[in-house]
Amino acid sequence: MKTQREILFDILSGKDSSQIGKWLLFPYAPTAYYVDVRNHSEYKKIHEVSLSNAIILNRRNMAVVPNFTDEVKTTSVDGRTTVVYKDMSFYQEITMQPDGSRKVKKLLTTEEDIINYSKLPVLKDKDVIYNYMDKQLDKYLAEKHDFPEEYGSMMLDIGEPILHLYHISELQEFSIWSLTANEYVETYLENTMERYRHIYTYCLEKDLADVYFMVGSELASPPLVSRKTFQEWIVPYAQELIALVHSYDKFVIQHYHGQIKEILPDFLTMNPDALHTIESPPIGDCTLEEAFKVVGDNIALIGNIQYDEFRSLTPEQMTTRVKEIKERCKGKRFILSPTAGPFDQEPHENIINNYLAFINA
């Protein structure tokens, strides 16, 4: 019988698609964005069942490296973060409202902001970047040592050039910049790409993971920006990083939530080994059949039971959903998974029962 690791790499490499893989998105070591499933009273039982029945991709991050050189000064006081470089300054502020909600003023809110921000000196010095990476290495290697390899693979999530810019920008302005300030966004992305080349190369040279999880393509795509902008802000950078990973005989899974149908052919250009997660209407706009018609056998697909279905379906309905998707994807490069990970700290009993039904089906 094949291990989950062997099943994973058979699918990612296209070597064998006779068996459908299954992935719960449960990492092995704790993360900031998911429940610690190994130590949570409810999730623990699912984790233990999954060890021999589902692929585990131990998602980690090794990219805690400053975006800019020391010339750029950042301070944070009472919910206000200020970034200063020469005579330019930017600030982000979080204020609590009377109803208990938070109001967030993003760092970049005007065209002048992106023009000035593109002038900040991005940290590109290989030696400085490697020094930051070295400081994280022992902790990561300890986690890698503790992870039983037969369960699946270590998976590094270290980002793409668009990531930081998206999260610090007012999204309405971000969209408009694709029409009015495109050259400044591209200047920022080109400079940031030099930083990412060093970070990826460091990880690849040290053989830190067999799988890389790339999150970023969904952040600059239709309908927020045009397909043309997607092809300028996302495609060339992802294509280069994926080629770099492949040059070390490692694998890439690209992540994308939302409306993917229009840009799906562009993923063939970027050339990942797998794409997660294809979402059917009404959440997304692409069925698995439509996706396979475009990508054929060139990219493995991962998905696509919505996380909300783990809340709303009965275990019997979940069993039916799993069996139906398995039948539709028989003989194709496919890994069945939820569209999102375990983030409910106090999960309803139905969620736990549906994870069990998912695995058993």
56-98: pLDDT as tens digits: 999 999 878 999 999 999 999 998 999 999 999 999 999 988 9
Mean pLDDT in residue range 134-158:
97
Residue 360: band (very low, low, confident or very high) from pLDDT cuts 50, 70, 90: very high
Cβ 360 vs Cβ 320: under 8 Å: no
Strands, DSSP E only, in 176-325?
A: 211-215, 251-255, 274-276, 300-305
Question: How far, in Å, CA of 121 to CA of 128, rounded?
Answer: 14
- Report DSSP state, residue 73: E
In sequence order, the 6+-apart residues with CB closer than 8 A to the CB of 40 are: 345
pLDDT of res. 1: 85
Report the predicted TM-score, pTM, of the whole model to 2 decimal places.
0.96
Report the distance separating Cα 92 and Cα 113, nearest Å.
12
Q: Provide the pLDDT for residue 63.
A: 75
Lowest mean pLDDT among 49-63, 184-198, 254-268, 312-326: 49-63
Domain ranges in the chain are 4-67+106-360
Q: What is the pLDDT of residues 32-48, one digit of tens each?
A: 889 999 999 999 999 99
| Mean predicted confidence (pLDDT) in 207-216 | 98
Is the four-CA dihedral 115, 119, 120, 125 of positive or negative sign? Answer: positive
The answer to whether residues 195 and 124 touch, using CB atoms and an 8 Å cutoff, is yes
The CATH number of the structural domain formed by 4-67+106-360 is 3.20.20.210
* pLDDT tens digits for range 330-340: 999 999 999 99
pLDDT given at position 8? 97
Structure confidence at residue 62 (pLDDT): 84
Query: What is d(CA 20, CA 356) in angstroms, rounded to the nearest whole number?
Result: 17
Return the pLDDT at 77: 94
**What is the predicted pLDDT for the residue at 162?**
98
